[in-house]
């Protein structure tokens, strides 16, 4: 991994269906300034900027990083754009970390965003091609058949997804930045919500949000210049696979398994459920919690849903491995930022800085993002203890 | 002028329409030409033997070019599906409708297509279906020459065999 690096500052915006009070530039600057403030630094302390977002087609601004240079204090500094679909928030953090770990830079600002109120994700992803019928039904339409296949294989009770939807919204109600604030959500309410893409109900799907997330990643030598405890980066990995190939396991993608194996090896993880104190995992549709519990080795094949059912992933039920204490993607989804929010929230936990959704004494956490047709994966492990 | 009751405009909608020419490339061009004749075709990977439809000219798993054309039948198996309850922008189809991942006999990969002439609640993984084509005079270089797939009165395919049937529907 080279030089040791840590997260020394985290900044997020308030997530909402529409942040009409700011432009895209204002949105990313808000996150960046919050991160600088958190790290007790200013733009002049930053050596380089790494920025990420989901497809440019969303907002219709091509190469937005160029126009955002000013807002991010990046004039005259190296700037790099990352793009790996929905996993981009995670990959962007990893690229930023690698710029420090390689010894190239001492302190890097990394920012991701999406302004879904100024975009149309469904249209942007539905360019018609003659060799396929044009039946675009959004990301939910793509993932619903995969979830159905998971349910068939695992024989999971049909309401596991509902349980995740309730749990993550209760977590989100503890987080003042959360887009959705549903402290009184019930099993019945989720069950009664409209079936959009059977088996995915309205309340089992993520919202569409505006928001940005930023982090400052510093070389170990500069960590003491920021006042709060650092989150040490103990491992980072990315993997990808083609969307379509014969024999592909869409329910349990190999790229996800390989990525987890790599990042666990770097961080010395052999039993993720026992060793991690918590995890922030990209779950945009409720059923992806049990699916990723298996893909990431927290449960055996076909058994992930049992952890969800037993409350193991719930903060409110005192679970042993709380997932998505911040409320997760099911509570806030500014697509390009959603992966980085997972990475940042994992870091907040091990910094002991997660306020009302803090897991007591969290020392080791996993951040995870996936994107495209569940083909891009990025993960990191952060810890409170300097290795 | 009284400005108090005026609505503040802080955003306008300005849709951008991009029209582009689609360059199909060798494999999709052949595939589309065959579709124009009412024939569904795939291509076989010379390394792993899997048949891809629609063919894109290579096997992503092996990283090699595919050239051998395989003529597929009209019959397929439901690999999975969703019942969609929201309309598609610009598409006249009325929800709820079924979008299914279908593996045609003789192929080893699924594509998505509509299912119709079926009871939505009775659609299931492993179900057998067949293509319903548009009238011949409407055929174009397009996958929607097949209007939809409808259920067949045949036994379901066990899940582990989906994607592994020969072109005449028998186990490979």
For A33-47, the pLDDT digits (tens) are 999 999 999 999 999
Contacts of A149 in chain B (CB under 8 A): 79-80, 125
pLDDT at residue A318, as a whole number: 97
- Give the residue with greater pLDDT, B172 vs A382: A382
Stretches where chain B sits below pLDDT 70 are: 1-4, 172
Hey, are the CB atoms on A141 and B163 less than 8 Å from each other? no
CATH architecture entry for A5-121+208-225 = 3-Layer(aba) Sandwich (3.40)
pLDDT at residue B172, as a whole number: 62
pLDDT at residue A1, as a whole number: 61
Helix (H) or strand (E) holding A255: helix A254-267
SS3 B104: strand
Tens of pLDDT along A225-273?
999 999 999 999 999 999 999 999 999 999 999 999 999 999 999 999 9
pLDDT at residue A110, as a whole number: 98
pLDDT at residue B95, as a whole number: 92
- Look over chain A and give the mean of its residue pLDDT values, rounded to a whole number: 96
pLDDT at residue B3, as a whole number: 61
Q: Is the pLDDT of residue A304 over 60?
A: yes
**Dist CA A136 CA A139 (whole Å):** 9
Disruptive mutation site among A115, A122, A123, A137 for chain B (greatest number of B CBs within 10 Å) = A137
Hey, are the CB atoms on B100 and A145 less than 8 Å from each other? yes
Hey, are the CB atoms on B88 and A137 less than 8 Å from each other? yes
Radius of gyration of chain B (CA): 21
How would residue A139 be classed by pLDDT, with cut points 50, 70 and 90? Answer: confident
Contacts of A20 in chain B (CB under 8 A): 10-11
Hey, are the CB atoms on B11 and A118 less than 8 Å from each other? yes
Contacts of A144 in chain B (CB under 8 A): 82
pLDDT at residue B57, as a whole number: 95
Predicted interface score ipTM higher than 0.90: yes
Q: How many CB atoms lie within 10 A of CB B33?
A: 13
- Asked whether the beta carbons of A45 and A86 are under 8 A apart, the reply is no
**Dist CA A164 CA A366 (whole Å):** 18
Contacts of A194 in chain B (CB under 8 A): 85
Average pLDDT over every residue of A76-84: 96
A192 touches chain B (CB under 8 A): no
Sequence-distant (≥ 6) Cβ neighbours of residue A199 within 8 angstroms: A144, A147, A148, A151, A158, A161, A287, B82
Tens of pLDDT along B118-162?
999 999 999 999 999 999 999 999 999 999 999 999 999 999 999
- Closest residue of A to B144, CA-based? A133
Average pLDDT over every residue of A346-367: 98
SS3 A85: coil
pLDDT at residue A131, as a whole number: 83
A62 touches chain B (CB under 8 A): no
pLDDT at residue B4, as a whole number: 66
Hey, are the CB atoms on B125 and A130 less than 8 Å from each other? no
For chain B, the residue count is: 172
pLDDT at residue B16, as a whole number: 74
Cβ contacts from A onto B, under 8 A: 110
pLDDT at residue A130, as a whole number: 81
Contacts of B108 in chain A (CB under 8 A): 246-247
- Closest residue of B to A135, CA-based? B88
Strand A278-280, strand A364-371: pairing: parallel
Residues of chain A with pLDDT > 90: what percent?
91
Nearest-Cα distance to chain B for A76, in Å, is: 32
pLDDT at residue A137, as a whole number: 67
How would residue A124 be classed by pLDDT, with cut points 50, 70 and 90? Answer: confident
Strand partners, B114: B99
Sequence-distant (≥ 6) Cβ neighbours of residue B148 within 8 angstroms: B113, B114, B115, B116, B117, B132
Tens of pLDDT along A209-225?
999 999 999 999 999 99
pLDDT at residue A77, as a whole number: 97
Considering only the beta carbons, identify the residue of A133, A144, A153 that sits closest to B144: A133
Considering only the beta carbons, identify the residue of B45, B112, B141 that sits closest to A135: B112
A278 touches chain B (CB under 8 A): no
- Asked whether the beta carbons of A385 and A232 are under 8 A apart, the reply is yes
A63 touches chain B (CB under 8 A): no
């Amino acid at each position: 991994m080279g030089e040791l690096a840590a997260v020394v500052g985290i900044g997020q915006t308030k997530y909402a269906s529409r942040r009409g009070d700011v432009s895209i530039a204002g949105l990313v600057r808000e996150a960046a300034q919050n991160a600088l403030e958190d790290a007790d630094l200013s733009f002049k302390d930053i050596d380089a900027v790494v920025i990420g977002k989901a497809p440019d087609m969303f907002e219709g601004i091509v190469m937005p990083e160029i126009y955002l240079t000013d807002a991010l204090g990046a004039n005259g500094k190296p700037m790099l754009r990352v793009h790996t679909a929905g996993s981009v928030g995670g990959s962007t953090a990893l690229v930023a970390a690698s710029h420090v770990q390689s010894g190239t830079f001492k302190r890097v600002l990394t920012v991701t965003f999406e302004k879904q109120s100024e975009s149309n994700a469904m249209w942007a992803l539905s360019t018609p091609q003659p060799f396929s019928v044009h039946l675009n039904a959004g990301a939910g339409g793509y993932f619903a058949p995969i979830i159905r296949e998971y349910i068939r294989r695992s024989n999971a009770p049909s309401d596991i997804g509902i349980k995740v939807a309730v749990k993550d919204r209760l977590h989100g109600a503890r987080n003042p930045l959360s887009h959705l604030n549903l402290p009184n959500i019930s099993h019945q309410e989720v069950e009664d919500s409209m079936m959009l893409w059977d088996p995915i109900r309205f309340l089992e799907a993520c919202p569409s949000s505006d928001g940005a997330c930023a982090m400052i990643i510093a070389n170990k030598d500069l960590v003491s210049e920021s006042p709060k405890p650092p989150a040490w980066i103990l491992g980072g990995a990315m993997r990808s696979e083609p969307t379509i190939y014969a024999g592909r396991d869409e329910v349990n993608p190999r790229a996800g398994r390989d990525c987890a194996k790599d990042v666990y090896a770097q961080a010395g993880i052999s039993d993720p459920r026992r060793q991690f104190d918590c995890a922030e995992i990209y779950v945009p549709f409720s059923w992806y919690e049990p699916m990723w519990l298996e893909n990431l080795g927290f449960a055996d094949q076909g058994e992930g849903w049992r952890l969800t059912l037993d409350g193991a992933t719930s903060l409110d039920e005192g679970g042993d491995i709380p997932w998505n204490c911040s409320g997760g993607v099911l509570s806030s989804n500014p697509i390009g930022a959603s992966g980085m929010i997972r990475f940042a929230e994992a870091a907040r936990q091990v910094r002991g800085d997660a306020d009302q959704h803090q897991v007591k004494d969290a020392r080791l956490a996993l951040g995870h993002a996936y994107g495209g047709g569940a083909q891009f994966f990025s993960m990191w492990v952060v810890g409170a203890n300097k290795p | 002028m009284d400005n108090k009751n005026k609505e503040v405009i802080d955003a306008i909608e300005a849709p951008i329409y991009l029209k582009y020419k689609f360059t199909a490339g060798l494999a999709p061009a052949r595939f589309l030409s065959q579709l124009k004749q009412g024939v569904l075709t795939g291509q076989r990977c010379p390394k792993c033997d899997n048949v891809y439809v629609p063919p894109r000219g290579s096997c992503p798993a092996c990283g090699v070019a595919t050239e051998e054309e395989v003529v597929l039948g009209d019959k397929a198996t439901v690999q999975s599906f969703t019942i969609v309850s929201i309309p598609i922008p610009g598409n006249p189809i009325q929800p709820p409708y079924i979008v299914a991942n279908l593996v045609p006999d003789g192929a080893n990969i699924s594509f998505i297509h509509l299912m119709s002439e079926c009871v939505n609640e009775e659609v299931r993984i492993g179900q057998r279906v067949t293509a319903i084509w548009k009238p011949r005079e409407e055929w174009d270089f397009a996958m929607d020459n097949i209007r939809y797939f409808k259920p067949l009165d045949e036994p379901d395919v066990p899940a582990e065999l989906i994607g592994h049937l020969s072109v005449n529907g028998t186990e490979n």
